Structure 1
Amino acid sequence: MPRTSPAIVEAQLRRFLTEDMPPGETRLPDERSLAHKFDCSRETLRKALGVLESEGLLWRHVGQGTFLGVRPRHLPIRETVLVEGATPRDVMAARLLLEPQVAAEAARHAGPEEVVLLRRRVAQGRRARALSECEAADDAFHRAIAAVSGNPVLAGFLSFLSGARRRIAWQREWDRTYRRIGVEEFRTLHSDQHDAIVQAVAEGTPERAEAAMRRHLRTIEAAMTPASGS
């Protein structure tokens, strides 16, 4: 039976936000994981989250998760509907337009600490042993690039696209792709490409970072094309 009181959960959650959130991360773990971590019911957890949300420390979006900071004032009301209607091809087209520019911005703004964070994300991908670990590592890497760009608007767009990648249509194609190419390709080719992006960011060369990100996304697009039958 859950033993932790709401007041203790609230205190633990505050400490988690200030001390345990990985640098560059803005999305909290899902409710099930947090409830297990704090040894409480999800109802108790939601009460604590509600208190912190009322203080502007975080905000929640049904179906997408809980995020650090104040809720965006102009969050589209029907964005989940737009995401549900997006095909994997739509998502890839948006990523190819946006993410190379985000990588270029990261190269312009990254300092030594940010480079360490990015290299840690690459290492996380190389350690992946299962599809779910590959997916989590890939998402963490691309979110970190967005955070390092230093532009909260760009980071917000990338967060939106990350949400789209968790929807059913994209997830189905992702699963089919990785069943075909296997985890090993993610740990090698994809992680090598992540590393090339980080190297360009570390060198402060926006053009190379942009090109490296575009090559990486083209690799993903090519891998998913047979799976989508196009």
Structure 2
Amino acid sequence: MTRQRITNEIRSALEEGIEAMMAAAADRTGAKLPTERELAERFQVTRHAIRQALERLEAKGSLWRHVGRGTFRGRRSEAEPLAADVTDFCSPRHILDARRMVEPSLASLAAVNATPSQIAEIQATCRRCAAARNMDDYEVFDEAFHRAIAQGSGNPLATELFETVNQARKKIVWGAMRRAVLRPDRRAFFSEQHREIVEAIARRDAHAAWQAVMSHMETVAQTYETLRQGEPFIV
């Protein structure tokens, strides 16, 4: 059996499993699904695999999603307002600029406000990200790392801003950059920058945390720019 065939079988089984779970949970349109993280744990797959399955099920009309509110069974009701997708008007540069504005401040707040358990989660996701052996695992833990920092900020509105920018990042920037950016050497360099961010947050140094994330954002921006221009990437 080929690897591609196995992959297709797993994808089909995952979609069938999610549809069966939705049917068992509630026999009505509008029932809310568990989060991507909960689904990944339930089906023992990566969040990237869950995200792809949800995208295919949404295209089939089995469910619909609303950033910041969740994923719901059935087709979107006509009464449900369909907000304009801001990503339709964004470029990768817009996303990178937004990350520069949001994420350094979140890290600065986390250095001040994060609880010991939240700092432990930031440290744990940093280690998992550094230990990732493939792009799928790295992507999952990289997202979890930045989300843990946002949650450690203690500001739910700022955390929601992070989620909005993160959704746009995955749609506009990450999809195009993913394979080029996540080579082992670049993953290692990004992981070292993550470690510097964690150390600043753990010692409650808000200014150093802000600077460490800004440095990370500048590296991401440089990476994207060199890829866009077709130039070799040098760190």
TM over 0.5: yes
Q: Does 1:78 align with 2:114?
A: no
Matched residue, 1:185 = 186
Counterpart-to-counterpart distance in 1, 2:84 and 2:109: 26
Q: Is residue 177–residue 223 contact of structure 1 (8 Å, CA) maintained in 2?
A: no
Give the TM-score of the pair, scaled to structure 2: 0.66
Answer yes or no: is the 8 Å Cα contact 1:84–1:164 preserved in 2.
no
Deviation, 1:92, is 0.3
C-alpha spacing 1:226/1:194, structure 2 compared with 1 (3 Å): same
Pick one of 89, 92, 95 that aligns with 2:93.
Answer: 89
Cα deviation for residue 176 of structure 1 reads 4.9
Q: Distance in 2 between matches of 1:45 and 1:33?
A: 16
Equivalents in 2 of 1:127, 1:214: separation in Å? Answer: 23
Aligned mate of 1:40, from 12, 16, 20: 20
Question: Structure 2: how far apart are the matches of 1:173 and 1:130?
Answer: 17
In the alignment, what sits opposite 2:167?
163
**Unaligned residue ranges in structure 2 (runs of 5+):** 1-12, 34-62, 72-80, 231-235
Aligned partner of 1:213 in structure 2 is 213
* Distance verdict in 2 for CA 1:44–1:175, change over 3 Å: same
Q: What is the SS of the residue equivalent to 1:150?
A: coil
Q: For 1:202 and 1:61, how far apart are their aligned partners in 2?
A: 39
* Total equivalences in the alignment: 180
Alpha-carbon distance between aligned partners in 2 of 1:46 and 1:170, rounded to the nearest angstrom: 36
Shift of 1:221: 0.8
The residue correspondences of 1:112-131 to structure 2 (distance < 5 A) are 112-131=116-135
Identical pairs, percent: 24
CA distance in structure 1 between the aligned counterparts of 2:199 and 2:15, rounded to whole angstroms: 34
Pair 65,132 (structure 1): closer, same or farther in 2 beyond 3 Å: farther
- Where in structure 1 are there 5+ consecutive unaligned residues? 1-31, 54-59, 69-75
Distance 1:155 1:79, change over 3 A: farther
Q: Deviations over 1:3-44 (max 9, x none)?
A: xxxxxxxxxxxxxxxxxxxxxxxxxxxxx86974x7935444
User: Which whole-Å CA distance do the structure 2 matches of 1:184 and 1:48 have between them?
Assistant: 48
Aligned alpha-carbon RMSD (Å): 3.1
Matched, 1:133 2:137: yes
- Residue 214 of structure 2 aligns to which amino acid in structure 1? R
C-alpha contact 2:95 2:169 (8 A) present in aligned 1: yes
Partner of 2:115: 111
The answer for the alignment partner of 1:16 in structure 2 is none
Which letter maps to 1:173? A
- 3-state SS, counterpart of residue 133 of structure 2: coil
Please tell me the residue identity of whatever aligns with 1:40. A
- Which of these residues, 88, 104, 123, is aligned with residue 100 of structure 1? 104
CA distance in 2, matches of 1:102, 1:79: 26
Letter in 2 for 1:205: D
- Work out whether residues 106 and 148 of structure 1, in 8 Å CA contact, stay in contact via their aligned partners in 2: yes
Of 173, 177, 180 in structure 1, the residue corresponding to residue 176 of structure 2 is 173
| 1:83 Cα deviation from its structure 2 partner | 1.4
**Contact 1:176–1:227 (CA<8 Å) still a contact in 2?**
no
Q: Secondary structure at the match of 1:204?
A: coil
Secondary structure, aligned partner of 2:20: coil
Q: Which amino acid aligns with 2:183?
A: G
Look up the SS of the partner of 2:167 in the other structure. Answer: helix
Q: Is the 8 A contact 1:114 1:148 kept in 2?
A: yes
